[in-house]
Structures are given as C-alpha cells and as structure tokens.
Chains A and B, each alone.
Chain A
C-alpha cells in the first residue's frame, strides 16, 4: 500500500474552511484515498473516500489532483467539534488493512 504524508498539525478559525492536505505520490491506479478522523478517546470515524474524481458528502469534500499524487480534505465551515486528528489513508478497495499514519491534528479555534 502507498504511504501518505500529512502535516502534523493545523489550526483553523471557527466558521472558516479547513483544508487538510495529503501527499500520496506512490499511489497505484487501483488504490483509493480514504479520510478518517478521531476525536479524543473515541474510535475513528469515516469521513469520505475517492478514487480519482472529486467527492462530496454531508461532512466534507475530497479534492484529488489529476495525477492522483495528492489530495485535500475540505471541511467547508469548521466548528469546534471538528477538532480531531485527521488520517489520510490509501489502500485497495475491499481491503480493510488500513495503515494509519500519524495524521494531522486539526484545532478549530473560536
């Protein structure tokens, strides 16, 4: 599975968009990009995933570059409850062997 690189921490003002980058330069053609987040002391929560097209759901948007070597998770209007560690993972579909990295600790500030 491809490895990912994320900044260790980011801050965002409440109500503003949070843009979390992820580099996955060794991703292969059949690997998906998944995003999860973990709020302190809770189990990780699925956010979104995609292959090559941009994706949007009620929680976030996922923008994948055309060469698929990087992606950005966008939380359009961050709230204090979005403070969490965000993990970017790449893996084959139908493979639950998710290798979580260190993630990005997002702090939303009032």
Chain B
C-alpha cells in the first residue's frame, strides 16, 4: 500500500487566494483526519470523517476553512480566502475502525504571503 497520499507537498500563495489541499487515505480505512501543525500550537485536529461523513469539525478555525469527503478515497481541505496566519503544515491521516492507530501522510507545507 502506498500509504496516505497528500498533494501538493508545498504550496505558496498570496493572501486572499483560495487554497485546496488534497488527501487520499489508505484503502479500506474508515476514518480520515485533517490536522494542522505549527511551532506555536503544535498538532491540532481540524476535522475528522467517519465513512465519508464529518463527525467533528470543532477544530476548524473559522468559516474560511471547509473540508469535504465526496468518496472513501478522496478528501479536500479548502481555505478561502487564505491569510498569512494560515501558514502551517497540514497533515491528513486515516485509520481503520478496529484500531486507534492513525497513519499520517507526508503533509502539505502551506505558506501564505
């Protein structure tokens, strides 16, 4: 298995632009998580899905952030409009319902100038 796949690996954009981050979870996994990691705040859970349904989005910072999971093999995290304070590494992770172990993707490093 290729593991969790994220794209792009790096994204540099200007303030006000729309940013879309993509994730392909491990095949057969029921849960998908989006995290944000910064030096100041560490690793924060933004939202997670179970069987493509959003379960808890209480970590989404504000309405500029949205996430979708149209099918079991694809999810997106969108920021519109982006702001410099959104600069961080965004991780996607997936897990199987029988285990709490999460498998993380390599992350997308987002820089908003």
| Chains A and B come from one and the same complex | no
